[in-house]
């Protein structure tokens, strides 16, 4: 640390309350000041979402920036006079802050002195990236699990479907690529399933929801493997 003489490559320190640290840094940056405070990003429930987990619902989460060094914002020392005026202004667009003084003068911090804080911020950023990648994988797994549950429930409902398929009814099969375009003959209708013959001794029990009477084209039944 040094005095205010020779400000190149140095920072002055601004003090504010812990909760105003990040807002102050953003406000001053938007006003054109070169400022910095180390931050880390966390995810937390959006306002009003706190009870959703208890109620069994998925909560909406938002990213929130938190100060690693609450109450401290670093500003380029060559802006000191403008910062002092902004700090003392009666009507200021910025959160309340003051320029840090020690023993009657403004101590300055060199770039090398904040290397550790830069590293801490980068470490927090890397951790957040890893968390986001993990969240993305978890979301993908949850989506796959939801699709599987949905498909399983759909199949269960379809298996309850019953159809009146008299013997010798010509049918086509849906949802089974091996039988695309083929016409089979119902040997025995069992309500929720049917025994279908596809020629020779090839007889298969198929769920009723997959069977539809063969369509007539030009007055003739489509021809398949079986006759």
Dist CA 219 CA 60 (whole Å): 59
Q: Over 70: is that where the pLDDT of 5 sits? A: no
Tokens of 31: 């006003």
What's the rounded mean pLDDT across residues 53-65? 70
169/178: higher pLDDT: 169
pLDDT of residue 56: 53
Residue 136, pLDDT > 90, answer no
171 near 212, Cβ under 8 Å?
Answer: yes
Question: Are 92 and 24 spatial neighbours (Cβ–Cβ below 8 Å)?
Answer: no
Say which residue, 33 or 6, is predicted with more confidence.
33
Query: What backbone torsions phi and psi does residue 138 show, to the nearest 5 degrees?
Result: -65, -40
Most confidently modeled range among 4-8, 56-60, 186-190: 186-190
Model pLDDT, residue 95:
95
pLDDT of residue 55: 54
Which of 183 and 19 is assigned the larger pLDDT? 19
How many CB atoms within 10 Å of residue 227?
9
Residue 209 banded pLDDT, cuts 50, 70, 90 = confident
Check residue 223 and give its pLDDT: 42
Mean pLDDT rounded to a whole number for the chain:
82
> Is the pLDDT higher at 32 or at 47?
32
DSSP, res 70 = T
Half-sphere exposure (CA, 13 Å, Cβ side) for 9?
5
Which 3-state string (H, E, C) describes 86-120? Answer: HHHCCCCCCCCCEECCECCECCEEEHHHHHHHHHH
3-state secondary structure at position 196: strand
Residue 144 Cα distances to 56, 134, 141, 147, 216, angstroms = 19, 15, 5, 5, 40
Q: Which of 2-6, 143-147, 151-155, 202-206 has the highest mean pLDDT?
A: 202-206
Please give the share of the chain, as a percent, with pLDDT higher than 70: 86
Instruction: Determine the pLDDT at residue 215.
Output: 58
Q: Quick one: DSSP state of residue 18?
A: G
pLDDT at 145 over 90: no
pLDDT in tens, 63-104: 889 999 999 999 999 999 999 999 999 888 999 999 999 888
**Under a CB-based contact definition with an 8 Å cutoff, are residues 208 and 168 in contact?**
no
Q: CA dihedral in degrees (30, 32, 38, 39; nearest 10)?
A: 10
Within its chain, how far is the Cα of 13 from the centroid?
A: 37
pLDDT band at 154 (very low <50, low <70, confident <90, very high): confident
Q: Say what the pTM is.
A: 0.55
Q: Quick one: residue 217, left, alpha or beta (phi over 0 = left, psi -120 to 50 = alpha)?
A: beta
């Amino acid at each position: 640390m040094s005095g205010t003489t020779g400000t190149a490559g140095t920072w002055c320190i601004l003090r504010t309350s812990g909760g105003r640290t990040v807002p102050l840094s953003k406000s001053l940056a938007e006003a054109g000041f070169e400022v910095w405070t180390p931050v880390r990003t966390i995810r937390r429930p959006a306002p009003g979402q706190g009870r959703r987990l208890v109620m069994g619902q998925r909560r909406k989460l938002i990213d929130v920036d938190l100060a690693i060094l609450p109450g401290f914002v670093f500003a380029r020392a060559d802006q000191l006079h403008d910062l002092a005026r902004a700090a003392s202004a009666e009507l200021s667009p910025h959160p309340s802050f003051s320029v840090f003084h020690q023993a009657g003068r403004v101590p300055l911090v060199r770039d090398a002195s904040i290397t550790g804080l830069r590293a801490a911020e980068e470490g927090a950023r890397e951790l957040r990236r890893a968390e986001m990648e993990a969240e993305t994988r978890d979301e993908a797994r949850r989506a796959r699990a939801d699709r599987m549950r949905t498909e399983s429930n759909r199949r269960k409902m379809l298996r309850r479907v019953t159809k009146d398929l008299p013997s010798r009814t010509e049918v086509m099969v849906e949802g089974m690529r091996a039988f695309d375009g083929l016409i089979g003959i119902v040997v025995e209708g069992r309500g929720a399933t049917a025994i279908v013959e596809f020629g020779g001794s090839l007889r298969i029990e198929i769920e009723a929801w997959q069977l539809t009477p063969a369509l007539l084209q030009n007055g003739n039944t489509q021809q398949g493997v079986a006759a």
